[in-house]
Structure 1
Amino acid sequence: MKKFYYLSTCDTCKRIMKELDLPVDIELQDIKKTPITPEELDHLYASTKSYESLLNKRSQLYKQRGLKDETLSEDDIRSLILEQYTFLKRPVLVLGTEVFAGNSKKTVAEAKSALSS
């Protein structure tokens, strides 16, 4: 599977899409228009072994709900991501079994390297 999960209204996602120069065979999914499904999220989990690594802790909703002060189980985090698209760390690039989640320079560099190999 080759897929790029992003938010079309997010300037950071747009910048990273441009920077990665995604090949045409990568399916694009705007998570606001087409929310991630349980099956898709579980596929990401199979590669990352952690829902927490897919959680956007900078989401306004995360802060509003005071979730940083709570102990969340992996099941709690999975439910949050499925409930509201803003809880998914973005963008997420999936290349087979490799998953690159988030917008850190290191993650973007690793994604770029994987795309060019």
Structure 2
Amino acid sequence: MSQIRILHNPRCSKSRQTLQLLQDRGLNVEVVEYLKAPLSATELAELQQKLAITDIREMMRTKEDIYKELQLGAETVSEDDLRAAIVAHPILLERPVVVTDTGARIGRPPESVLELL
């Protein structure tokens, strides 16, 4: 099995459930608390590619207050600006995200990450 990494927020129930799901299968999981160690713009672009998402908003928490405050829903906001917003405000990144050598999945629902195994 390849390396498994989870972008994790321990305060999020879906994130905790996804981590537990992986651990219950006896998998060795690298836990990255992305709020404490935010991803760079380059890492976000790589993650977007692994997720096979063309619109970066699909990996964003669009209901967060900061999303609305920064008016990130406007059509004129570029993908680079959206990526910069996630770097500056990592709470905007949808969670949890499980990453392996073969791809990545957002754990909503948690069982969706099992496709990577």
Coarse TM-score class (shorter-chain normalised): 0.7 to 0.9
Stretches of structure 2 that go unaligned for 5 or more consecutive residues are: none
Alignment of 1:99-110 (within 5 A): 99-103=104-108, 105=109, 108-110=110-112
Kindly indicate which of the two structures has a greater share of residues assigned to helix.
1
**Which residue in the other structure is 2:80 paired with?**
75
CA distance in 2, matches of 1:78, 1:67: 11
CA distance in 2, matches of 1:75, 1:102: 24
Encode CA deviations 1:56-86: one digit per residue, 9 max, x unaligned: 1122321344433x11321121111111111
**TM-score when scaled to structure 2?**
0.77
Alignment of 1:8-19 (within 5 A): 8-19=10-21
Letter in 2 for 1:43: E
RMSD: 2.1
1:95 to 100, 104, 108: 100
Stretches of structure 1 that go unaligned for 5 or more consecutive residues are: none
1:63 to 60, 68, 74: 68
Percent identity of paired positions between Structure 1 and Structure 2: 23
**Which residue in the other structure is 2:45 paired with?**
42
1:33 to 31, 36, 44: 36
Encode CA deviations 1:81-114: one digit per residue, 9 max, x unaligned: 11111110110111114111252x3xx3331232
CA distance in 2, matches of 1:67, 1:43: 21
**TM-score when scaled to structure 1?**
0.77
Q: Alignment length, in residue pairs?
A: 110
